[in-house]
Amino acid sequence: MNKSVIKIKNLHKYFGSKKVLNGVDLDIVEGKCTAIFGLSGGGKSTIIKHIVGLLKPTSGEIFFNGKEITSFSEKELRETRKEIGFLFQSGALFDSMNVFENVAFPLREHTKLDEKTIENEVMDKLTLVGLDASRVAFLNPDELSGGMRKRVGLARTIILNPKVLLYDEPTSGLDPITSDVISQMIVSLQHKTQTTSILISHDIKETFKTADYFAMLYDGVIVEYGDAEHFLASKVDIVQKFLNGNSDGVF
């Protein structure tokens, strides 16, 4: 039986009078990649921001390794976040730091490792995400292509060896070839590290290359969930319209 490392129960979120999440229930299977589909602005990123405690729910519960985290103190959340890596859409690199300093930053902030160990860890992680570490380590972010920025952002995300990885639109803004490279990298990393991953996307083609399970968020709730075969055969009308790119006045 598949174990859930994250369990979301009846999650509601309002921003003022605007309803974004209206009772989300979702289990994230340990060691697998789960993709959450949905419309732009439909609440996908809101879900993962709750998982890392960047947002507090209006109501509902989120369990991480069996512990309900929505009532955690800031200190408890900081400890939990060390186990969760979050790759933002932009890569969120610090422009004032070179690649090496960007990737080393979490180690210097959260550990007491010596500089030689930090150097080894940084170069290993840059290599793991498919970069020529010795060539890119001392480049500045503005010298990187979009795909390279994503890879460097991912190297920094995994530098603390998190148990869970959150990808927020990892192929957004990339050309089709680079998007395919990033998708292959995510799959490769998944196989090498056996982390649990959540992928937020509206890129259907690339996501089906990457994920093991798929959830569709619509109107604030999960309307479909399952593996690729189940999801593609869904009888939920909104899912088929999303997969076929047929708005038909709904979107």
Question: For position 79, what pLDDT does the model report?
Answer: 87
Packing angle, helices 176-193 and 146-158, rounded to 10? 20
Q: What is the dihedral of CA 49, 185, 172, 105, to 10 degrees?
A: 50
The mean of the pLDDT values for the chain is: 89
Tell me the mean pLDDT in the region 74-93. Answer: 82
pLDDT over 70 percentage in the chain: 96
Domain ranges of the chain: 1-83+162-251, 93-161
pLDDT tens track for 31-66: 999 999 988 888 999 999 999 999 999 999 999 999
Banded model confidence at residue 249, pLDDT cuts 50, 70, 90: very low
Banded pLDDT at 2 (limits 50, 70, 90): confident
The whole-number average pLDDT for the span 178-204 is: 85
State how far the Cα of 179 lies from the Cα of 209, in Å rounded to an integer. Answer: 11
Q: What is the 3-state secondary structure (H, E, C) of 102-159?
A: HHHHHHHHHCCCCHHHHHHHHHHHHHHCCCCHHHHCCCCHHHCCHHHHHHHHHHHHHC
Dihedral sign from CA coordinates of 2, 210, 203, 124: positive
pLDDT for res 143: 95
Q: What mean pLDDT is predicted for residues 180-206?
A: 86
Residue 112 CB neighbours (<10 A): 7
> For residue 59, what is the enclosing H or E element?
strand 59-64
Query: From the CB of residue 56, how many other CB atoms can be counted at a distance below 10 Å?
Result: 10
Amino acid occupying residue 84: I
Rounded to whole angstroms, the Cα distance separating 166 from 149 reads 16
Say which CATH superfamily domain 1-83+162-251 falls into.
P-loop containing nucleotide triphosphate hydrolases (3.40.50.300)
Q: What mean pLDDT is predicted for residues 91-114?
A: 91
Tell me the backbone φ, ψ of residue 166, rounded to 5 degrees.
Answer: -110, 125
pTM of the model: 0.87
pLDDT at 227 over 60: yes
Q: How many residues does the chain have?
A: 251
What is the residue whose two structure tokens read 């055969």?
233
User: What's the distance, CA 23 to chain centroid?
Assistant: 21
- 88 vs 156: CA distance, rounded Å: 11
Residue 103 near residue 144 (C-beta atoms within 8 A):
no
DSSP output for 189-204: HHHHH--EEEEE-S-H
pLDDT value at position 129? Answer: 87
Categorize the per-residue pLDDT at 250 as very low, low, confident or very high, splitting at 50, 70 and 90: very low
